[in-house]
Amino acid sequence: MRSRDLLGLVAGALLAGVSSVDAADYGQRPEVGYGKPVADADLVLWNIDIHTPDGANLPAGEGTVPAGKLVYEQKCIACHGEKAAGGPVYGTLVGGIGSMTKSPRVLTPGSMYPYAPILFDYVRRAMPMDAPQSLTNDEVYAVAAYIYNLNGLVPDDFKMNATTMARIEMPNRDAFVRDNRPDTLAERCMSDCKPIGTVADASKPAAAPR
């Protein structure tokens, strides 16, 4: 059989197949459900961002300095050393207050953080290094109270919770400058948006730091 005749037979068969399908079937969504609505309760484990200036979204719970000392000695001391003065993995978590404008700077939660809730946010997400997110909220509050106590920022009888943590006045709170470069404004636009790549108006105030 010549190749031209063979091609003709194939084309005819294809056309016959197409004509046998009802045109109304095209573009119809299959009778299958995809996904399900997401409830707020489903997002609880992921919704852990904390607004560090005012402590918004800090969870319920409480911890004391003595309780934090126990948590630290059980789960932190191997890396951070006795009384958080530095260990085989990390340097000191204590001291350095007032050194941020000097050389060398001593970077600790007490000397560097502008807002106390930063410590809760970091510890809950990342510590201990071999078992991140394994600490309870009470344990995180407690170890934060212990570390801030070692830095002289809270008294021995301090009870750390969502309310008291946000009230701690950090020594380095006012030592930061606002980044007002145009590409940091990150303006949200929901309608009539400027084309992608348009530089934000640098004359507008930048968003408050988180």
Tens digit of each residue's pLDDT (9 = 90 or more) over 149-196:
999 999 999 999 999 999 999 999 998 888 777 777 767 777 888 777
Contact 173, 14 (CB under 8 A): no
CATH for 47-167 is: 1.10.760.10
**Would you state the pLDDT for residue 209?**
46
State the amino acid at position 62 in one-letter form: E
Average pLDDT over residues 32-42: 79
pLDDT of residue 63: 98
* Residue-level pLDDT at 210: 46
Residue 35's φ and ψ, nearest 5 degrees, are 75, -170
> DSSP for 120-174?
HHHHHHH-STTSTT-S-HHHHHHHHHHHHHHTTSS-TT-EESHHHHHH---TTTT
Task: Give per-residue pLDDT as tens, 152-163.
Answer: 999 999 999 999
Phi, psi of 64 (to 5 degrees): -115, 170
